[in-house]
Structure 1
Amino acid sequence: MPPTVGEMDMSYAGTGNEKAVAASDLSRAHVGLTVSFQPDEFTVVFGRIGAIARKEGSVTIALEGVDGTGGLPSHYSLSPAQQVYVQPDMLTNTESTIKDLFGKVQENLRSHKGDQRPDAV
């Protein structure tokens, strides 16, 4: 279970449905997705990626809708190895599930096709 924000020396590891991605592996496909990460030992950030910029030695994530509200920074520089936890994209997950189910139906149809008896109608 991830630690709460009030604990000292946190070691945030995402939640059960999030996928861990190294900051260096973030791409345009991740823009618009909800993420969480720990930019320093006392902070855990939750937000939606507005932009990703790669520089030598760091990856900068800009969050949508922050704009300095409440003293929060709108962007964070992370090391390329830093783990960022991405919420699954519901459209991609649904599409993947449909493809998996369609594949199983095709497989079932093929296996039953070979099981037909000559006397069957």
Structure 2
Amino acid sequence: MSYSGSQSEKPVAAGDLDRSHIGQTVSFESNDFTVVFGTLSGIARTEAMVYLSLQGVGGGTHLKDEYDVPVSQNVYVQLDPLSTAGKTLADAERVIKEKFDEIKKNLRDREQKPDAEQKPDSE
């Protein structure tokens, strides 16, 4: 298995996890066959390993709530919803501005070219 997170997650080396990540939802490969999803409730670290304690994972037959991962292994953390919303809003503003500019250009073009169907009154 080669888990690489989802679009709403960013990779963080397990060794870079700190107390600011407590309470965040994470996902990672615990072994070659298992991807774990849970909420960080604790982090312990040695030079070679990071020990993760999770909420919402333990209690199943094959699930546990503590995992050890190498310091260099990526753990996938949910993106900050506020910064993601800001990027989405900026993208929406850009698209709206482009469409508005396109409409203004079309209106200017119509004003400059009289409509072929409009004929001056001969009365």
User: Counterparts of 1:53 and 1:68 in 2: how far apart (Å)?
Assistant: 21
Q: CA deviation at 1:72?
A: 1.1
Q: Who is 2:77 aligned against? A: 86
Superposed structure 1 runs of 4+ greater than 2 Å apart = 65-71
Q: Is 1:42 the equivalent of 2:33?
A: yes
Q: Who is 1:13 aligned against? A: 4
Alignment root-mean-square deviation, CA: 2.1
Pick the aligned partner of 1:74 from 65, 73, 96: 65
User: Counterparts of 1:20 and 1:65 in 2: how far apart (Å)?
Assistant: 21
User: Counterparts of 1:39 and 1:71 in 2: how far apart (Å)?
Assistant: 12
What do residues 91-112 of structure 1 show as CA deviations (whole Å, max 9, x unaligned)? 5x37x94xxx8xxxxxxxxxxx
Q: Who is 1:57 aligned against? A: 48
User: Counterparts of 1:12 and 1:66 in 2: how far apart (Å)?
Assistant: 18
Aligned-residue sequence identity (percent) comes to: 49
Amino acid at match of 1:83: N
Three-state SS of the structure 1 residue aligned to 2:44 is strand
Unpaired runs of 5+ residues, structure 2, are: 91-123
Q: CA deviation at 1:67?
A: 4.1
User: What TM-score results when the alignment is normalised by the length of structure 1?
Assistant: 0.64
Amino acid at match of 2:68: S
What do residues 25-72 of structure 1 show as CA deviations (whole Å, max 9, x unaligned)? 001010000000001100000010000100231000100133434341
Q: Who is 1:3 aligned against? A: none
Three-state SS of the structure 1 residue aligned to 2:20 is helix
User: What TM-score results when the alignment is normalised by the length of structure 2?
Assistant: 0.63
Q: Across the two proteins, how many residue pairs are aligned to each other?
A: 88
Q: Who is 2:20 aligned against? A: 29
